[in-house]
């Protein structure tokens, strides 16, 4: 379980770094919604780090402040 929590923290840190970069933009300061398509294997691995309720779905969202990252399964 500790490894999973560490992985979640790492992934959230990466997304937070993206938010920090976007905060520097003059045009994106009021928020951002990004769509990230992942292949099945990567999607399942990434999704397994987050909420159980989202398992089996083809889409889930991670929100950090005014930034929203939507992860979808590439078809």
Q: What is the pLDDT of residue 8?
A: 84
Listed by start position, the domains of the chain span: 2-73
Burial status of residue 69 (CB atoms within 10 A of its CB: 0-12, 13-18, 19 or more): middle
Average pLDDT over residues 12-36: 85
Question: pLDDT grade, residue 65 (50/70/90)?
Answer: confident
* Each residue's pLDDT tens digit, 33-50: 899 999 999 998 888 887
Q: Using CA atoms, how far apart are residues 68 and 27, in angstroms rounded to an integer?
A: 16
Residue that is written with structure tokens 């997304």 in the block: 15
Average pLDDT over residues 17-32: 82
Q: Using CA atoms, how far apart are residues 66 and 28, in angstroms rounded to an integer?
A: 10
């Amino acid at each position: 379980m500790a490894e999973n929590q560490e992985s979640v923290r790492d992934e959230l840190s990466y997304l937070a770094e993206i938010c920090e970069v976007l905060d520097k933009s003059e045009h994106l300061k009021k928020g951002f919604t990004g769509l990230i398509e992942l292949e099945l294997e990567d999607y399942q691995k990434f999704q397994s780090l987050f909420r159980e309720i989202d398992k089996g779905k083809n889409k889930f969202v991670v929100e950090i402040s005014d930034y929203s990252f939507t992860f979808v399964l590439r078809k």
